Structure formats: C-alpha cells, structure tokens
A and B are shown apart, each in its own frame.
Chain A
Amino acid sequence: MLIYLPIAEISTNALTLLGVGAGVGMLSGMFGVGGGFLITPLLFFIGIPPAVAVATGANQVVASSISGVLAHLRRKTVDLKMGTVLLIGGLIGSSGGIWLFRLLSRLGQVDLFVQLAYVLFLGVIGTLMLQESVRSWYRSSKPGAARRKLHKHNWVHALPLKMKFRVSGLYISVIPPMLVGMAVGVLSAVMGVGGGFIMVPAMIYLLGMPTKVVVGTSLFQIIFVTAYTTVAHAVTSHSVDVMLAFFLIIGGVLGAQFGTQIGLKLKAEQLRILLALLVIAVCIKVGLDLLIRPAELYSVRIPGQH
C-alpha cells in the first residue's frame, strides 16, 4: 500500500513503515530501550530525508514513552524534583540543538552532521553494550564474582548550589543533573532520540540515584523534552511528518507488545549481545555510506525544503 508522506514529500509503502516501527518496537519491548536511536537511521536507509527522520523520530519517542511515564507516575517511582531539574537542562539543551540544526541546514551540512553523530554515537553505545553484556554473561556463568560498588563519593559532591532531592535521598549540587539534562536535550534535537541510554547510566553512576526511580525519572524528562523538540522542529524547520509518525507509532506499539512477551522468555545476556551487535551493524552501515565514494557526487536541494 503506497502512501504519500506530506512533509518528506515522497511516496512510500505503509507496510515498510509499519515494519520498521514494529521491528524497533519489538526490540524496545525486549530490552526496555526507547529505540529512537535505531528508528532514525532505519528511516535514512529507506530514503526519508535526515532532517525529517530526526524530527519525526522525536515525535515517535513521545508516543513510545507515554504509557511508561503514566505507569511510573502511578507507582510513584518518579523523582519529580530531580526530573524538573533534568527537564530544565533538557529544554536549554534542546533549544541549542535546534539552533545548531538550523545553522547546519542553512550550510547544507545537516545530513552529514546527523550521520556523523549517529556513527559516533552508535559506535560508542554498541561497544559499551557489547562489553557490558559480555562481562555480565561471563560473570553470571561464574557466580560469586566481586560486584561493583554502586554509590561512591566523587567530584559531584564537591560542587556548589546544593539541593535536597528527597525521593532519591540525595543532597547534591544542581549543576551535574542540569548538565546531564542539557546533553540529553541536545541529542534529542539533533538525533531525534530520547537519550535514556545516556541518562540512565549517568543518573546511576554520576548522580548516584537509586535504581528504582531512575527509569521513571528519565522517562519523565524524556517525554517533555521530546515533546518540546517536536514542536520546536515543526515551528523552525517544518520537518515533522505526522503521517510518517503515525505509521511508526502504530507499528511500534504492536511490536512492543510482542517484544515484552519474547523478552520474558529469552535469556537476557545473550540477547543483549545480539542487540549490541545490531547497533554496531547499523553504525557500520551509516559509516560506510560516508566513507565509500557515492555513485552520484551531486545532489539537488530546494532551499527551504528537506
């Protein structure tokens, strides 16, 4: 079934879009990741302009986070105060990212920038995931190995502007969470991701937050920052494609349902190694597109469009 995407201005098969949404949704259901960092590069591969892929990716993250946010709010596993600090940082970061995006798009370099960001990012994430999952696989096969100490005092506790975060049981400076929020905000604007895979480890290892509030609090920040990013992209570069987002969301929700079921039945460590390898494969594909001499060196762009 061929449909016309009004903003990407291309005709594409609705089943392909549902398939991309479902595939990524399944992975996110299996692993509990947002999946934005896989959806956007997959959209590049099927010919969606990178600017549209990024802005629509942010919109899709809003949809995939909402039920999680509501569930965590009901269970009261959200540190609203910490979430608000992260959110303020996120909004600042996202605004900066939008500005950068506009600047690069005027210079004709936005596609390159987004692709480079993805290569770097997926490379780092994939390698870390692979390392971590191989290590934990090794550890699970050898019980009784030493566990890492979770909470320790570091430079974070020496900074000024301290604030009490009761839900997290922390008394720390607002500067580190603000910076974490900002970094995630920039990523959301230039890459169309939620940024949970950066924020969650940062909250645990850098801020020392208890794990039970980490996921809820990060989702709380993500949904507001991606919502802001969606509207900001719509206003500044008209690059959010509602039609594209709709099919991705429907596919994503369907896929996530099955993914959760599958994830419960399969062995976590081996699966995580597979996800890591998948992330690295996508990274290599995006990277090769930059390294191999393209068949057509020229490209035509209509100013003001994508």
Chain B
Amino acid sequence: MRALVFLLLVLAALPAAANEIVGALSQNRVALTANFSGSEILIFGAIRRDPTEALAADATDPAHFDVVLVIEGPREPVAIWRKDRRAGIWVNVDSVTLASVPSFYAVATTAPLHQIISPETDAEFRISARQAIRPDQSIGVVADPSVFSEALLRIRERAEQYLTLDRFVHLDREILFRANVQLPANLTEGAYTTRMYLVRDGNVVHQFRTAIFVRKDGLERWLHQMAYDQPFLYGLLALAIALIAGWGASALFRFIRSA
C-alpha cells in the first residue's frame, strides 16, 4: 500500500504533459531453491491521465485505456529439431536455430491482445510471444522455417514457459491496475524485464519498464555453478559423494545387522 501511495506521489510530481503509466512489482527478487514450486508476482501501478485532455473530454464518455504487461526472461539461442521417419525409426532430421528467444514470456492484458493493439503496434513493440522470438532471424536450411517457430511457441506454451494471460490485468476506475502472474518452477536465472504498456485506440501511448531478478539459491545454485565453473572439482565431489554414500550406507547396514 505504501508503494502505491509512493506511485501516486511520483505520478503527481511528473510533468503534466500526456497520458502516462507507472508501475511496480510486489517483489524484485525471486530465489529458486530445491523445493521451489513457482512463485506469484503482483504487478501493480497507475495511469496518469493527461489533465488537459481530461478536462476537454466529455465527462460521460471517458477515454478508454487498456494495459498490457509483459514479463520477459533472459534470452538464449535455441535449436528446434524436427523428427522424421528414417529406416523405420523416428530420428531428429531437420533443425532451425533462433539466435535469441526469451526463456520465459508472459503477456497479461486487460482484454485479448489482438482486440486492443493493432498488428503494426505489436510488431513495432514486439509485444506478443510470436513477435518476441524473432522468427525472421531463424537460421537453418529448411523449406518451412515458420513451422519451426510455431512449434517453439506451441511447446513453450504447453510447458507454461510462454503465457497468454488475457483479462488478467484488472483496471480499477481507469486509474489503478494490478495483475497476479504465476511464475513457473523451471525458471532460468537472470534479469526478467517487465514492460508495462498503456494502450489506447490500438496504439501504445506510453510505456514503463522495470525488472525482476531471478537467481538460484542455496545448494542448487552452488552445485550448478560449480558444475559449470569448476567441472573437474565437481566431478571429484560427485565421486566422493558416491564413495562415501555407497560405502557408508552398506557399512551402516552391516553394523545394524551385527548389533
């Protein structure tokens, strides 16, 4: 609540020129631990109406705003493989590589996205997941690269890595908005940029950006980092654990049985 008051104060202090959006997150940090089963983020904020416009507009027909929220995980290259039947078995045959696609992508809106923004706006601001994966930058010698990018969208939507959250943003009296977004358990570490778009008549009027930092925590972070940064030491650790656990447990059983 204090944050909301702060937001309103910030809005009041902004130079009064145009319609603006400002927002915040319930938490800027998410820690992935061994028993991490996902976490819910509350995104909230406010819209500041252009005072001159507000005066001019007919009081019975206030201009309608929509809000689009985008959470985008760290980008990474991906290879999309397609299986085909070769000598009776299903084998990966063709592949297409996309140089930079979000590891997580969620679009939350006040109304279905295609109803509130024009395709041109979507392309310009790369709002929908289909735009964000940049299918135009695919690399691969196949006749139909678009089928591969569609497959990527399909697979990631099924895995709940790409989310379309229509009507998940609640707009209160055309001023305050909030949305709960459930983050899945299989998050990649890194900065998750959060974009908030103020939309009217199919166009983006204003935007605001912030970020969530997701990091692995505790033992898993330590093990994962060690596996990649000190692989030899990690291998020895794996051996030591195997030897101690294997020998220790059977020694324990011998002791129990002889006692």
Contact A230/B235 with A294-B83, A299-B80 known, Cβ cut-off 8 Å: yes
Contact A6/B92 with A62-B243, A240-B234, A298-B82 known, Cβ cut-off 8 Å: no
Q: Give the chain A neighbours of B216 by CB distance below 8 A.
A: 6
Judge whether A234 and B36 touch: CB under 8 Å: no
Contact A9/B238 with A235-B231, A299-B81, A299-B155 known, Cβ cut-off 8 Å: no
CB distance from B80 to the nearest CB of A (A): 6
Q: Is B30 an interface residue (CB 8 A)?
A: no
Contact stretch, chosen from A130-138, A178-186, A210-218, A241-249: A241-249
Q: Give the chain A neighbours of B224 by CB distance below 8 A.
A: 6-7
Q: Give the chain A neighbours of B56 by CB distance below 8 A.
A: none
Nearest A residue (CB) for B96: A298
Q: Is B53 an interface residue (CB 8 A)?
A: no
Q: Give the chain A neighbours of B235 by CB distance below 8 A.
A: 230-235, 240
Contact stretch, chosen from B7-15, B71-79, B166-174, B195-203: B71-79
Q: Give the chain A neighbours of B152 by CB distance below 8 A.
A: 298, 300
Q: Is B255 an interface residue (CB 8 A)?
A: no
Nearest A residue (CB) for B229: A238
Judge whether B242 and A67 touch: CB under 8 Å: no
CB distance from B151 to the nearest CB of A (A): 4
User: How far apart sit A200 and B121, CA to CA, in the bound complex (Å)?
Assistant: 69
Judge whether A253 and B232 touch: CB under 8 Å: no
Judge whether A112 and B239 touch: CB under 8 Å: no
Q: Is A60 an interface residue (CB 8 A)?
A: yes
CB distance from A21 to the nearest CB of B (A): 11
For window 115-157 of B, CB contacts with A under 8 Å fall at 148, 151-152, 154-156
Q: Is A145 an interface residue (CB 8 A)?
A: no
For window 57-108 of B, CB contacts with A under 8 Å fall at 76-85, 88-92, 95, 97
Judge whether A234 and B232 touch: CB under 8 Å: yes
Contact A4/B32 with A235-B235, A299-B80 known, Cβ cut-off 8 Å: yes
Contact partner of A293 among B33, B90, B97, B239, CB < 8 A?
B90
Q: Is A140 an interface residue (CB 8 A)?
A: no
Contact stretch, chosen from B18-26, B204-212, B244-252: B244-252
Instruction: Tell me how many residues of B have a C-beta within 8 Å of chain A.
Output: 57
Q: Give the chain A neighbours of B95 by CB distance below 8 A.
A: 108
Q: Is A143 an interface residue (CB 8 A)?
A: no
CB distance from A10 to the nearest CB of B (A): 7
Contact partner of B238 among A240, A292, A293, CB < 8 A?
A240
Judge whether A294 and B90 touch: CB under 8 Å: yes
Q: Give the chain B neighbours of A70 by CB distance below 8 A.
A: 247
Judge whether B243 and A300 touch: CB under 8 Å: no
Nearest B residue (CB) for A3: B34
Contact A67/B247 with A112-B92, A231-B239 known, Cβ cut-off 8 Å: yes
Nearest A residue (CB) for B184: A11
Q: Is B185 an interface residue (CB 8 A)?
A: yes
Of A4, A59, A256, the most chain B CB neighbours within 10 A belong to: A4
Judge whether B155 and A291 touch: CB under 8 Å: no
For window 283-306 of A, CB contacts with B under 8 Å fall at 290-294, 296-303
Report 5 cross-chain contacts, Cβ distance below 8 Å, ordered by A residue.
A243-B34, A253-B249, A300-B79, A302-B77, A303-B77
* Chain A residues close to B by CB (< 8 Å): 1-4, 6-7, 9-11, 59-60, 62-67, 70, 108-109, 111-112, 116, 227, 230-235, 238, 240, 242-243, 245-246, 249-250, 253-254, 256-257, 290-294, 296-303
Contacts beyond the supplied A2-B185, A234-B231, A299-B81: 17 A-B pairs with Cβ under 8 Å = A6-B216, A63-B243, A64-B246, A109-B91, A109-B92, A235-B232, A242-B227, A242-B238, A246-B245, A250-B245, A257-B250, A257-B253, A291-B88, A294-B83, A296-B155, A297-B90, A303-B97
